[in-house]
Structure 1
Amino acid sequence: MKVEKIVLRRMKMKLKSPFQTSFSTQYDRDFIIIEVHTAYHVGFGECVVSWAPYYNEETVITAWHMLEDFLIPLVLNKEITHPGQVDEIFSPIRRNNMAKAGLEGAFWDLYAKQSGQSLAQALGGTKDKIEVGVSIGIQEDMESLFQLVEQYLGQGYRRMKIKIKPGHDVEVLFALRKRFGNVPMMADANSAYSLEDMDVFTKLDELGLMMIEQPLGYDDIIDHAKLQAKIKTPICLDESIHSCEDARKAIEMGSTRVINIKIGRVGGLSEAKRIHDLCQQHNVPVWCGGMLESGIGRAHNIALTSLPNFLLPGDTSGSSRYWEEDVVDPEVTVSANGTIEVPKGPGIGYTPVAERLKKYTTAEKVFTVK
């Protein structure tokens, strides 16, 4: 892959409705798109940072700094034959995983296009379709939540992920179970609880939830092991898992029975695939989490989810769930049976539309090979 230039785009897109979690409410998505250009192809990646360091330590400004001053200079004048090399080149730099993942993802897309493969094929994917669920933020009242669940069930989504926080948990989930019966449902706490909240978890144990995602500290695996030993509902780790090594330790300690793999959180597709393979060896199912991506990031998620151990519906919902207009053509769509077709065309299988990219770009910088 003889790179001629790399383009950074700071993007801002307005969400169709606010998205509230236990730690923040988002009205817009402020993120970064990376383009890697050769003479004949362009690879696209998405850096899924947010404007503030609430989910993890990275922000749009810090990721831009890392890409501009460290990561792009490391690869700009090198001959890259496989995207796995990018992962190796970045290994001396600690953390900053979302910045790394955005650039590495662009190289994966480029590699797949140059080799005439879909990104799913390049990763070793085996599925033609992936199952998807939907993530529902904290709502102001129960009727609004009921309406959203009805809407998404009608659209075919196969799993409801409900955001919870202290004071907005047990009653909410019991009401949903009473209203909708045995609909596949999980709770996502985004690290809002501690072991002192054991009464909450024992009550939720009555609901037959698919899992409780990241109930305790964002960097913890010890207390999660203590909690998992006391409840029957599977614990799914998200924020605690930044690498394959983290996943190994969590599995060995009994901290988790399910792992959410987010490409940005773990530093890229190469590491995501390693975590998938490790979990498959240990019979730990995985699913693909979402970061309110544009169609570019969504396409990478779809390709990753085509790997065989993604056994649970992920968060990769259709473009229309979040955007009036996405930046890719065609937009990502969910079928009536709650699945998304895995693209068979070269690379990510969706075409970024230049006019739309330009429309939502708030800053741009071009890096050329010297």
Structure 2
Amino acid sequence: MGLTISAIELKRINEPLKQAFKTSLQTVTERESLIIKVVSDEGLEGFGECIAFSTPWYTEETVTSCRFVIEHVLVPLLLDKTLENPSQVDEVFKAVKGNRMAKAAVETAVWDLFAKKRGMPLWQMLGGKDAPVPAGVVVAADEEKISDGVAAAFSAGYSRVKIKITPDSNIGLLKEIIARYPDMLFFADANGAFSEASWERLIAFDGAGFTLIEQPFAEQQWKLHARAKRDMKTAICLDESIGSLADAERAIAEEAADILVLKMGRLGGWSETLKVVELCREHSIGMWVGGMIEFGVSKAHNLALASLPGITLPGDFSASRHFWERDIIAPEIRIENGKVALSKDAGIGYCVDWQREEGASW
């Protein structure tokens, strides 16, 4: 059941965050993004989202670089192509080196398109489980605001809270906060803030009560991550280190992680991500779906990913109103009893407001 790509459109959106998102790398107060629409010869529409940031503080790709690559390189490669299955996009794009976030924005839209062509939810087309997805939220704030942020997450019904940490974090305060909520999971995310020089500070987090510590060291510090996995009781999770199937294979071979974070944008889209999922299943590596302060299109794809067997830890799934006054999708993503219900509609299961003005906020 093939289809032909008849049009590919792009729209830039920009929205202030309701509250600043602070990490060891950057403080984000505004989010710029690209929404991609891929149209078939039958008039069906599939949507994807580019999760690159405006400047290269997190990855080398940016919104501007992705827009150039999409418009001038990827669109000419894919336009008017007839595809029998969405995995063919990955093959078409192999002519282009790197630029995984740009590729993922377009490739994921084609997967949405094929699910709509087949008249089924994307999660169902992928073999996902029809069950609500456990939701987690990130508390990325100054130390004096962490306690209030966790309390708000608890009141909103989230089943997991992720707290940003650095070598200077107040471990005693974090331990005290975690102890208040015995029924919640707590993840620590360092964004590579530690080094060999701050090793003892990392070890001190072992007794704080976190389920895992995400990316304690820089992305290429494989030996330090393997050492942490070996010496610490708390599970070690890799995020920024995993940008391809080869990276996941290396993490397993070097015993550098107990758990991997799945981010389709950084992996280049669905095809590569599904290969990583299968690899993790084969080696009993834990998995969860990471977020990028994204809008609802990306989050809808991530919900389909989180439905797959083997992905059991709560991912970065906040309600639409957590970051934005209003999302670009309808209906809004809502949290009920700590989970997000999967849509039964075809494709990603949400309508996209394509009439939003280019680059405008709500």
On whether the aligned pair clears a TM of 0.5, the verdict is: yes
Distance in 1 of aligned mates of 2:221 and 2:74: 28
Cα deviation, residue 155, structure 1: 1.3
Between the two proteins, what is the percent identity of the paired residues?
Answer: 38
Contact 2:194 2:202 in 1 (8 A): no
Counterpart contact for 1:236–1:259, Cα < 8 Å: yes
Shift of residue 360, structure 1, vs aligned partner? 4.7
Kindly indicate whether the alpha-carbon contact (under 8 Å) linking 1:131 and 1:158 is maintained by their aligned counterparts in 2. Answer: yes
Aligned to 1:368: none
How far residue 40 of structure 1 moved from its aligned partner, in angstroms, is: 2.3
Deviations 1:146-199 (A, max 9, x none): 111111111111111001123125244234235445632111000111122121
Deviation string for 1:54-81 (max 9, x for gaps)? 1111101111111112111111121122
Alpha-carbon deviation of 1:305?
Answer: 0.5
Give the whole-Å Cα distance in 2 for the aligned partners of 1:58 and 1:168: 29
Which secondary structure state, in structure 1, belongs to the residue aligned with residue 95 of structure 2? coil
Gaps of 5+ in 2: none
Higher relative contact order (CA 8 A, sep 6+): 1
Instruction: Give the equivalent residue in structure 2 for 1:358.
Output: 357
1:137 paired residue number? 140
Q: Is 321-330 or 201-210 further displaced after alignment?
A: 201-210
The equivalent residue for 1:316 is 317
Task: Give the structure 2 partner of residue 106 of structure 1.
Answer: 109
Partner of 2:67: 64
Q: For residue 85 of structure 1, what is the amino acid of its counterpart?
A: Q
Q: Cα RMSD (Å) of the superposition?
A: 1.5
Are the equivalent residues in 1 in contact too, given 2:287–2:313 (CA < 8 A)? Answer: yes
Match of 1:348 in 2: 348
SS for the counterpart of 2:88 is helix
Kept in 2, the 8 Å contact 1:9–1:361? The answer is no
1:17 to 1, 16, 19: 19
CA 1:268 to 1:215, structure 2 compared with 1: closer, same or farther past 3 Å? same
Does the aligned pair in 2 maintain the 1:195–1:227 contact within 8 Å? no
Is there any run of 5+ residues in structure 1 with no aligned partner, and where? Answer: 363-370
User: What are the within-5 Å matches in structure 2 for residues 248-267 of structure 1?
Assistant: 248-267=249-268
The TM-score with structure 2 as length reference comes to 0.95
- Return the letter of the residue paired with 1:239: E
SS in 2 for 1:98: helix
Residue identity matched to 2:344: K
Match runs of 1:261-340 below 5 Å: 261-335=262-336, 337-340=337-340
Q: Is the Cα–Cα contact under 8 Å of residues 171 and 208 in structure 2 kept in the other structure?
A: no
Amino acid corresponding to residue 23 of structure 1 in structure 2: L
CA distance in 2, matches of 1:359, 1:7: 12
- Structure 1 residues 102 and 172 mapped into 2: Cα distance closer, same or farther (>3 Å)? farther
**AA at the equivalent of 1:8:** L
Larger displacement relative to structure 2 (166-175 or 200-209): 166-175
- How far did residue 352 of structure 1 move? 0.7
Distance in 1, Cα, partners of 2:170 & 2:9: 43
Work out the number of aligned pairs and report it: 358
d(CA) in 2 for partners of 1:89, 1:241:
23
Distance 2:235 2:169 in 1: 20
Q: CA deviation at 1:6?
A: 0.7
